[in-house]
Amino acid sequence: MGWFVVCGAVPQLPDGLDAEQEKQWRLSLLGTEEWRAFEWFRLGYTARWTAETMMLSRGAARRLFSGVFCKLNAADEAEVCRLYRETALKPQDFLEEERNM
């Protein structure tokens, strides 16, 4: 949280895309290393953990993750996880999770 800053130049979105098409378009902008980082973020891992797992220096991680956040128009790894999670959570999922605690 707050470890990285989103870049100012968000890629220009093509006209006429619905929400799912916009997500696919944004994902197509990611390079190979950015895609690897995105996969970790989508699973809920933090930027710090992802940087350590990918064996990145702090500067390299900042550049890589800022590019990911910029291309996906997300503020941080938590927003990437929320926007691009593989399965959507339903209200009953939250209730079941609370019962298991």
Per-position pLDDT tens, the chain of length 101: 455 555 556 677 788 888 888 889 999 999 999 999 999 999 889 999 999 999 999 999 999 999 999 999 899 999 998 888 865 556 665 555 556 65
How many residues does this entry show for the chain?
A: 101
Hey, what CATH topology would domain 19-99 get? Arc Repressor Mutant, subunit A (1.10.10)
Report the pLDDT value the prediction gives residue 44, as an integer from 0 to 100. Answer: 87
Report the pLDDT value the prediction gives residue 15, as an integer from 0 to 100. Answer: 83
Residue for token pair 């990611």? 30
C-alpha 36 chain-centroid distance: 10
> What is the C-alpha to C-alpha distance for residues 17 and 14, in angstroms, rounded to an integer?
7
What are the structural domain ranges in the chain?
A: 19-99
Report the pLDDT value the prediction gives residue 1, as an integer from 0 to 100. Answer: 47
What is the DSSP secondary structure assignment for residue 16, as one 8-state letter? T
pTM, entire model: 0.73
31, 71 Cβ separation under 8 angstroms:
no
Q: 80: exposed, middle or buried (C-beta count within 10 Å: 0-12, 13-18, 19+)? A: buried
